[in-house]
């Protein structure tokens, strides 16, 4: 009974190469998250927040967006984004703020769960190093 060691050595080489590639990928993601964070970001890490969205048709919608503290209504189509108006009235802006200050996600609920799951993997752990 003879055993072909070339298969096992090729398998080990392939697994080692896979481990190196995954290690480089994880290291580069960590580096980008740690050292390339933009300055002047709010505590949630967002400079632009979508406060409200309403679909008007297959490829058109209206978004109310908070861009670094300035609230703007935007018309969005498949080929263009237009400013409709600036919302300066504090009572209107207050009504648009979501309860608890959490941003409204434009994603459907099923996709929003996956986004939160991915964010939990990449966010720094509490009590550990930042």
What does pTM read for this prediction? 0.43
CB 63 within 8 A of CB 72: no
Q: Which residue has the tokens 């970001």?
A: 41
The candidate with the shortest Cα–Cα distance to 122, out of 20, 44, 34, is: 34
> Quick one: pLDDT at residue 23?
95
Residue 78 three-state SS: coil
* pLDDT one digit per residue (tens) for the chain, 130 residues: 555 678 888 899 999 999 999 999 999 888 877 776 555 555 556 678 888 888 888 889 998 888 887 889 999 998 999 999 888 877 776 776 655 555 555 555 556 666 677 677 766 655 555 4
C-alpha 37/C-alpha 30 separation (Å) is 11
Contacts of 71 (CB under 8 A, 6+ apart): 51, 64, 65, 86, 87, 88, 92, 93, 96
Compute the C-alpha angle 46/52/57, nearest 5°: 125
């Amino acid at each position: 009974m003879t055993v072909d060691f070339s298969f096992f050595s090729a398998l080990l080489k392939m697994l080692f190469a896979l481990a190196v590639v995954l290690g480089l990928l994880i290291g580069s993601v960590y580096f980008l998250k740690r050292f390339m964070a933009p300055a002047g970001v709010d505590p949630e890490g967002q400079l632009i927040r979508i406060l409200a969205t309403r679909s008007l048709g297959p490829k058109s919608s209206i978004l109310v967006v908070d861009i670094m503290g300035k609230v703007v209504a935007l018309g969005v189509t498949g080929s263009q984004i237009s400013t409709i108006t600036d919302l300066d009235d504090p009572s209107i802006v207050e009504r648009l703020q979501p309860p608890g200050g959490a941003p409204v996600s434009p994603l459907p609920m099923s996709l929003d769960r996956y986004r939160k799951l991915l964010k939990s993997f990449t966010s720094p752990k509490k009590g550990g190093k930042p």
